[in-house]
Amino acid sequence: PPGLSGDFASLMDFADAARRMRVRTNAETPSEARAARAFGAEGIGLCRTEHMFFDGNRIQVMREMILATDEAGRRAALDRLLPMQRSDFVELFEIMAGQPVTIRLLDPPLHEFLPKGEGEIEDTARQLGIDRAVLCQRIIALKEMNPMLGHRGVRLAISYPEIVETQARAIFEAAIEAGARAGAAVVPEILLPLVSLRKEVDFVRKRIDQVAATVMAERGWKVDYLVGTMIELPRAAVQADTLAEAADFMSVGTNDLTQTVFGISRDDSANFLATYERQGILGRDPFQSVDVEGVGELIALAVEKARRTRPSIAMGVCGEQGGDPASIDFFERVGIDYVSCSPFRVPIARLAAAQSAIRAARLAQSRPRPRG
């Protein structure tokens, strides 16, 4: 794996001694997790489980689940998914060796998993043992005009709780297996995507707790775990105090939050955003660097409100901006606890976090002290 050595490693040690914020990584594969560790990541802040099903045979399982017409069909696909996820998680827990690992429940915009083109449609129809025309009807029934604002994230978990049950089982069984092998407890952190309502957290948390109790009884092994929520919709930011009553930790998703605060699609914004930057209407691409006055204001509000309810709640940032130095400086100022970024941005995030902490300390020193 890549790693840091010589003067670069010394500089990083120096930076680590100065920073307050922790730096984690976004990772789904063993090679990403290993690379991130070599770069000094202090845990996984975001494992996007839907990314574990993009390639090869695996996408077929996901298609089978999404295209199933009843619970029995979904459960059959989920039964095949369970051992895959269990071994995925065991591997990540082992690589991270006791560092925190945050696993996010499925958040696939459905269109990304539907078969496209003649070849994929033929293959999927054959695999499902159904007529091509029947398959096409099912695909049409699942089509959404705005998939990114559609049936994804926690909404999928509420429509199909069997997905939560399967993923939670895989997480708890993996935590027990990895913990037993290492001789040290693994404490998984389960993250709910696209939450906007307290009752969404309650609904899913109840299923997770039930599965945890069942798996612990079956195995005769206790597992501690955390359930947290993404803050990536404006309503979640505004309601962070209420959500904090139900969540053990929170992670700000700056990609979806920027998309929904501006009402700009994160997938097709490139053309006009470039014009906006050229015309000086927007300083920087708000998907890359935090828009302090708008999106930033909401993040600050979320931190402040969540801590009104739970003063010590851990607040992270796991969207694209988690690896951007200017954004990291902002996150330091509003009291974010950790950022999570892609493995290769971990060193720059460590350095940026240190610079921000030093700047914040200088600022505090130069402020006149109140008399008294």
Piece of 114-122, 200-208, 254-262, 299-307 that binds ligand PEP (CB under 6 A): 254-262
239 contacts ligand PEP (rule: CB under 6 A): no
318 is catalytic: yes
Of the residues 47, 136, 318, 341, only one is catalytic, namely 318
Piece of 162-170, 253-261, 282-290, 343-351 that binds ligand PEP (CB under 6 A): 253-261
* Residue 53 CA: distances (Å) to CA of 28, 67, 76, 166, 281: 10, 15, 16, 15, 39
Nearest to 111 by CA among 86, 142, 83, 79: 142
Q: Which of residues 253-292 bind Mg ion (CB under 5 A)?
A: 253, 256
Structure tokens, 164: 């939560």
Instruction: Report the C-alpha gap between 8 and 366 in whole angstroms.
Output: 31
Count of residues in contact with Mg ion, rule CB under 5 A: 3
Given a contact cutoff of 8 angstroms between Cβ atoms, the answer to whether 349 and 319 are in contact is: no
Instruction: Spell out the residues 6+ positions from residue 81 whose beta carbon is closer than 8 angstroms to its own.
Output: 61, 62, 65, 166, 170
108 contacts ligand PEP (rule: CB under 6 A): no
Applying CB under 6 A, which of residues 100, 179, 228, 319 lies at the interface with ligand PEP? 319
Partner that binds at residue 239, options ligand PEP, Mg ion, none, CB closer than 5 to 8 Å by kind = none
253 contacts ligand PEP (rule: CB under 6 A): yes
Instruction: Report the C-alpha gap between 44 and 33 in whole angstroms.
Output: 8
Would you say 45 or 347 has its CB closer to ligand PEP? 45
* Signed CA dihedral, 86, 43, 235, 226: sign only: positive
254 contacts ligand PEP (rule: CB under 6 A): yes
Partner that binds at residue 300, options Mg ion, ligand PEP, none, CB closer than 5 to 8 Å by kind = none
254 is in an annotated binding site: yes
104 is in an annotated binding site: yes
Count of residues in contact with ligand PEP, rule CB under 6 A: 10
The two counts, helices (H) then strands (E), for the chain are: 16, 8
Partner that binds at residue 254, options ligand PEP, Mg ion, none, CB closer than 5 to 8 Å by kind = ligand PEP
Compute the residue count for the chain: 372
| Interface positions with ligand PEP (CB under 6 A) | 46, 48, 107, 232, 253-256, 318-319
Which residues are catalytically annotated? 318
